[in-house]
Amino acid sequence: MSDVRHQFGGDLSVGPTGDLAVVDGAELGRQRVLRRLLTNPGDYLWALDYGAGLGQFVGQPADALRIEARVRGQMFREQAVARQPEPVVDVAFDATGTVYVHVRYADAQAGSTQSISFPINNGG
């Protein structure tokens, strides 16, 4: 199944024929996982419990265990994520106060390892 290509926080993409670009497979799964992790609970009107709301950690004291738990709590809610092996979540900090999240998981359809990395700016 295909969907519109849309990186969270970005614009829609144009495909090679001038139409909206589409995405499927593992890339669609990565797109959906990222959207879930960065969407605040209550922001998606059709599913008020959807989303990890990692942006809510901006401006708060960095707590790697809370962030990791929040990510883990959402990963298996996404159909693209295989149950085995379990996702691996790494949370790191730098001197500027930026929190980096790196998630590795197995794609449910292909079984291939997928990675998503993104910063949570903490006042930077």
Pairing of strands 3-4, 22-23: antiparallel
Q: Determine the Cα–Cα distance for residues 124 and 122; give it in Å rounded to an integer.
A: 6
Q: How many domains does the chain have?
A: 1
Q: What's the pTM?
A: 0.79
Give the pair of three-digit tokens for residue 73.
């709590």
Domain extent, residue 24, equals 3-120
Residue-wise pLDDT tens digits, 103-122: 999 999 889 999 999 998 74
**Looking at residue 19, which CATH number applies to its domain?**
3.10.450.40
Residue 23 confidence (pLDDT) above 70: no
Burial class of residue 70 (count of CB atoms within 10 Å of its CB; 0-12, 13-18, 19+): buried
